[in-house]
Amino acid sequence: MYDAIVVGLGPAGSTAAYTLAKAGLKVLGIDKARFPRYKSCGGCISTKIERILDFSIADAIEQTVYGATFTYKSERAMDIVSGRAVGHNVMRNTFDTLLLAKAKEAGAEVVEGVRVTGAADNGSSVSVTTADGRSFTGRVLVGADGASGVIGRELFGLNPKEAAVSITAEVPYDRVKTDYGRKLFIDFGGIPYGYAWIFPKKEFLSVGIAGDAIKVGGRIKEYFNSFAGTHAALKGLNLDERIGWTVPIYYDGAAPSVKGRVLLIGDTGHLVDPFLGEGIFYAIRTAKAAAEAIIDTMMGSTKVDLAPYQAWLEKEIYPEFKAAGRLSDLVYNHPRLWYSILEKDPDIMQRFYNVIRGEEDSDSFYNWVYGKIRSKPWKVIRRWIDSRFLPV
């Protein structure tokens, strides 16, 4: 009988396993892959992650970035760079392996290379079955196996189609002539309700594009090819080695992330920023909060009560995501107008960097943006803002 079984050992699952094992609980982590393994992802983590981890991730950081070069449909380039770091770029094989190693060091038992095929809340315990015929029992189950995994889909009924779709390619530096230095490259307007990017790593440029699954309508490859064919550093390159993936962003109406003895963290619970698509920070943040709720209930009572984790999400995370959703509506529904606003007032992005760093509350930033844009003589956008982008 384990105190906790964690299904999925990406950033969310490994962080939960680490935190629980460090507190002295008996923990089992299971993942279908063997580590290190490649994971398709932009791999940019906001610097605020350093404040919620109690160990260094320096060995996994490939590039620290201080801002970005923005474009609209690969034109009208605009550099907005800060004097302070905004994010860290990582390769997920290295970063995820580091987190898993920490979980193992803390005492978590780990099973790699085995797929979970079923899970159940039996009332007084939870059980998990795997493809090789084994069965495990625990007091609590932590779902971290992704939006299309068993836990969220079968036990919570989450809709994996509520997501953005994406394609990523890793391009070796020796194939490109552009040095992005300590900047990201972000392009608006080239895909419905999304953006394209180039994130510099040590040996690769991570090139990707993502947009709302419904609005993209199955044309993600077409949008990726268009971006790669128009961006100066990518023209003429063969980018056939690419991987598609989904970004399970937060959506209104999703089921709560707690059900009996089971809870969801990170991507599995669609706990991803709907504006940036940032998932790694929220994977780790929700994992730590979930683990703390488990530790509290294990230490304080014989009755398992995970409701405090859901209460924490509703107080700390959902308001951030709802504010991000309002900004998404503004930016991605009107990318050309938004880009014109940034060209006239780049300080908007400088202040947003403070939000990325965790130095400013999301709601206060969005309300400030509302007031700033509302005062401008752009009648079309003002009318739209008055009806949709209301402050809270």
**pLDDT tens-digit profile of 220-241?**
999 999 999 999 888 888 888 8
Dihedral sign, Cα of residue 244, residue 249, residue 253, residue 257: positive
Strand-pair partners of 165: 211, 246
**pLDDT tens-digit profile of 129-142?**
999 999 999 999 99
Dihedral, 228, 233, 236, 237 alpha carbons, nearest 10: -80
Identify which has the larger pLDDT, 95 or 392: 95
Taking alpha carbons only, the member of 257, 100, 256, 231 closest to residue 178 is 231
Give the 3-state secondary structure percentages of the chain, helix then strand then coil, rounded to 5.
40, 25, 35
| Residue 178 banded pLDDT, cuts 50, 70, 90 | confident
Identify which has the larger pLDDT, 175 or 145: 145
Q: Are 181 and 265 in contact (CB under 8 A)?
A: no
Dihedral, 91, 92, 97, 98 alpha carbons, nearest 10: 60
Do you find a cis peptide bond into 36, omega within 30 degrees of 0? Answer: yes
Tell me the domains of the chain and their CATH numbers: 2-43+91-161+250-305 (3.50.50.60), 55-90+164-247 (3.30.9), 334-388 (no CATH)
**With 0-12 CB in 10 A as exposed, 13-18 as middle and 19+ as buried, what is 83?**
exposed
